[in-house]
C-alpha cells in the first residue's frame, strides 16, 4: 500500500469531525444561509444541525436552501464527512439533530447505542458504485478487470473502516476475488469526496466512488458500474437523534426530505428514492 497512512487519515478525520460537531459547524460546509455568519439573526433564528455523508454535500445544500426559504426563522448548518467519522462524533457527544448516513452500518451502531429518536429512522436514498478515471487519462482503463493490470498503479478508495464507499469497494473486490491485489495498489481517502478529488487531479489512476459523486464533475470519466450483486445494497438511512435540542424541527426537516421538492432535487443529482 502507498504511503498515505490509513490509521493517520482515519484518526484525523474522526478528530476533525468531532471538533466541528461540538462547535456546530461542518468541516466541508457550514450554513446554507445567505450570510456566512453562524450567529442567529436578531437572536430569534433557530439553528438545525445536520450531520450528513460527504456524498450528499451538493444536494443537501440545495434542499436546505429550499427549506430556509419556507422557514425564514430557521438556519440549517451541516457537518459533511465520512459516515463513520460522523457516527463516532455523535457517539462522543457532538452536537447534531439529524443524521444521514451513506450506509446502514453506522446508523445501526447509533440505534444499538440508543442514540436515535424513537420512530424516526427510515431509508431515504439508493445509490451505485462506479469506477472512474481522470478525464484526460491515456491508460485505456475500461473495466474492473483492467484494475488487475499494470495500467493501474494507484487505486483511490475510501478508507474501509469508516467510509462506506470503501466498505462497498472491499465487498466488490471480494466478489471479484482480487481484494489483496487491490489493497496493494490502494491509496485511501478520508471520505468519498477526497477520492473524487484525487481522480480529478490525476493523483491516482482510477478510483471507486458513488455514481452521484461522479456526476457532479467534468473532471472524471465513468468507465464501469459495479455489478449489483457484488456488494450490499447502497441505502442511505436518515434519523433524528434522541438528544436533539430541536426535536420537532428535526422531525419536520426529515419529513421535508421526503416531499416532492426534495425528491426532485435528489433525482437531479442522480439519487433514487428508497420509497
Q: Given a cut of 90, is residue 270 above it in pLDDT? A: yes
User: So what's the pLDDT on residue 9?
Assistant: 47
Q: Is the pLDDT of residue 110 over 70?
A: yes
pLDDT of the residue at 44: 80
Residues 121, 249 within the same domain: yes
Average pLDDT over residues 204-213: 98
**What's the pLDDT at 275?**
85
Report whether pLDDT(86) > 50.
Answer: yes
Q: What is the pTM of this model?
A: 0.83
Q: What is the CATH number of the domain that holds 122?
A: 3.40.190.10
Q: Do 59 and 269 touch, CB atoms closer than 8 A?
A: yes
Hunting for cell 499494470 — which residue is that? 150
pLDDT confidence of residue 234: 97
> Do 118 and 10 belong to one domain?
yes
Query: Are 122 and 241 in the same domain?
Result: yes
- Number of domains comprising the chain: 2
Domain of residue 162, residue span: 127-230
| pLDDT value at residue 43 | 58
Residue 11: pLDDT over 80: no
Residue 266 has pLDDT above 80, yes or no: yes
The torsion region of residue 122 among left (phi > 0), alpha (psi -120 to 50) and beta comes to: beta
Closest CA to 101 of 74, 127, 63, 131: 127
Question: In 3D, which of 126, 131, 267, 274 has the Cα closest to residue 195?
Answer: 131
19-77 pLDDT, tens digit each:
445 443 334 544 444 333 344 344 589 999 999 999 999 999 999 999 999 999 999 99
Q: 204 and 143 in one domain? A: yes
pLDDT band at 12 (very low <50, low <70, confident <90, very high): very low
The rounded percent of the chain whose pLDDT value lies above 90 is 83
What is the residue-averaged pLDDT of the chain? 89
| Residue 202 sits in the same domain as residue 265 | no
pLDDT of residue 13: 47
pLDDT, one tens digit per residue, over 150-199 is 999 999 999 999 999 999 999 999 999 999 999 999 999 999 999 999 99
Instruction: Check if the beta carbon of residue 59 is closer than 8 Å to that of residue 265.
Output: yes
pLDDT at residue 245 tops 70? yes
Based on the fold, state whether residues 79 and 140 are members of the same structural domain: no
1 assigned to some structural domain: no
pLDDT at 73: 97
Is the per-residue pLDDT at 230 higher than 70? yes
Mean pLDDT, residues 218-240:
97
Instruction: Examine the domain organization and report whether 122 and 31 are in the same domain.
Output: yes
Amino acid at each position: 500500500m502507498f504511503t498515505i497512512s490509513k490509521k493517520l487519515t482515519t484518526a484525523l478525520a474522526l478528530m476533525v469531525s468531532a471538533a466541528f460537531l461540538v462547535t456546530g459547524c461542518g468541516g466541508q460546509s457550514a450554513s446554507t444561509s445567505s450570510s456566512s455568519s453562524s450567529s442567529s439573526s436578531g437572536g430569534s433564528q433557530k439553528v438545525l444541525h445536520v450531520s450528513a455523508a460527504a456524498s450528499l454535500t451538493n444536494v443537501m445544500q440545495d434542499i436546505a436552501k429550499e427549506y430556509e426559504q419556507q422557514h425564514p426563522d430557521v438556519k440549517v448548518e451541516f457537518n459533511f464527512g465520512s459516515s463513520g467519522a460522523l457516527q463516532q462524533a455523535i457517539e462522543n457527544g457532538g452536537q447534531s439533530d439529524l443524521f444521514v448516513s451513506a450506509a446502514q452500518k453506522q446508523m445501526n451502531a447509533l440505534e444499538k447505542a440508543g442514540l436515535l429518536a424513537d420512530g424516526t429512522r427510515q431509508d431515504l436514498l439508493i445509490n451505485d458504485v462506479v469506477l472512474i478515471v481522470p478525464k484526460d487519462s491515456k491508460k485505456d482503463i475500461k473495466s474492473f478487470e483492467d484494475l488487475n493490470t499494470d495500467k493501474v498503479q494507484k487505486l483511490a478508495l475510501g478508507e474501509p473502516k469508516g467510509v462506506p464507499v470503501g466498505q462497498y469497494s472491499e465487498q466488490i473486490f471480494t466478489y471479484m476475488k482480487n481484494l489483496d491485489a487491490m489493497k496493494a495498489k490502494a491509496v485511501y481517502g478520508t471520505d468519498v469526496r477526497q477520492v473524487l478529488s484525487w481522480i480529478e487531479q490525476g493523483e491516482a489512476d482510477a478510483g471507486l466512488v458513488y455514481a452521484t459523486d461522479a456526476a457532479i464533475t467534468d473532471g472524471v470519466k465513468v468507465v464501469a458500474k459495479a455489478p449489483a450483486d457484488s456488494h450490499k445494497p447502497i441505502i442511505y438511512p436518515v434519523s433524528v437523534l434522541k438528544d436533539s435540542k430541536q426535536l420537532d424541527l428535526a422531525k419536520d426537516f426529515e419529513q421535508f426530505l421526503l416531499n416532492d421538492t426534495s425528491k426532485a432535487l435528489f433525482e437531479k443529482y442522480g439519487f433514487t428514492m428508497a420509497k
